Structure 1
Amino acid sequence: MTIQDYTTYIAGLPRVLVGAAALFRDAGGRVLLVEPNYREGWALPGGTVESDAGETPRQGARRETVEEIGLDVELGPLLAVDWVPPGPLRPRPPLVAYLYDGGVLGAAQLESIALQEEELLSWRLVAPQELAEYLPSELGRRVSAALDVLAHGNGPAELEDGHRVG
């Protein structure tokens, strides 16, 4: 195979998006959610990994956290990785979503949150039992799996569309 053949082969391979986020909690176990302005619903601090620039999922989650809420926190272990296929409501390539432990934020850190106004409207802390109301899709299942990993040490969780498979 020549270099040109190899380049053509690589260019024809399927594309997959990579996303990464951080799961932050407060001392009471509530989860930090952000409200994007570019779509309905709530999310975690995070976003698309800039893999073309050599960024890893962990680096992407940390960069996005700094950009979105102004907190530069060293992330803990990987809690979950989720294969999210495209679908009628998700007209995009498949997504591999990494979710890292952001840890427990103290009062001073919570007070210092500075939202990226270009992308976010607000933030809030949500009790685990209320998460389904704010995150009704695969993201909610991913967060629940991550909280289970934190509680029971049975991770990281391997997920498909938010459902544990491994």
Structure 2
Amino acid sequence: MTSVQDFATYIAGLPRVLASAAALFRDVEGRVLLVEPNYRDGWALPGGTVESDTGETPRQGARRETAEEIGLDRTLGRLLAVDWIPGTGRPPLVAYLYDGGVLDPGDLAAIRLQETELLSWRLVPREEITDHLPGALGRRVLAALDILTQDTGTAELENGHRVG
């Protein structure tokens, strides 16, 4: 039988992985809702780090972050994509992307930005996604939009590229 100390040492020696979760919201025209963080350049989806140390799940994290960042506390739909992003100077990241659904004009008017983290929001058509979201995130969003269009299962991605 292993001691508690041996188990703690074993756990401390395991590899680390970060987790993030976001929601993919669209308007009635199919444009994707993006937010502009104030702590880095570029655009992002509403979402952020999963607080796994407190027992938060990816789905809970996406909902919490969405409520905090844009003021919309909504039940999220299905898991659209899971993306493994290798780390450079940090542990690898597993990114979960959930269907936030379609926002009507009333929903859009109700958006309230978290001013401590966000500067603005905008709606972006599919053809401009990678202009605003370069790299793995842009590819992840495009894969998720394909899932919604084709009504297929969750996309398994590595650095935004489909696996298999």
TM-score range, shorter chain: over 0.9
User: Given the two structures, how large is their TM-score scaled by the length of structure 2?
Assistant: 0.97
Aligned pairs, number? 163
Q: Give the whole-Å Cα distance in 1 for the aligned partners of 2:90 and 2:68.
A: 24
Q: Give the whole-Å Cα distance in 2 for the aligned partners of 1:92 and 1:34.
A: 24
Residue deviations 1:90-138 (CA, integer Å, cap 9, x gap): x321000000000000101101100001100000000001111001110
Corresponding residue of 1:70? 71
Q: Give the whole-Å Cα distance in 1 for the aligned partners of 2:51 and 2:37.
A: 19
TM alignment of 1:118-133, pairs within 5 A: 118-133=116-131
Deviation of 1:154 after TM superposition, in Å, equals 2.1
Unaligned runs of 5+ in 2: none
Corresponding residue of 1:98? 96
Amino acid at match of 2:54: A
Corresponding residue of 1:151? 149
Deviation of 1:40 after TM superposition, in Å, equals 0.5
Q: Give the whole-Å Cα distance in 2 for the aligned partners of 1:111 and 1:84.
A: 34
Q: Give the whole-Å Cα distance in 2 for the aligned partners of 1:142 and 1:73.
A: 21
Q: Please give the secondary structure, in 2, of the residue aligned with 1:121.
A: strand
Unaligned runs of 5+ in 1: none
Q: Which 4+ runs in 1 deviate beyond 6 A?
A: none
Amino acid at match of 1:151: T
Residue deviations 1:46-70 (CA, integer Å, cap 9, x gap): 0000111111000000000000000
User: Given the two structures, how large is their TM-score scaled by the length of structure 1?
Assistant: 0.96
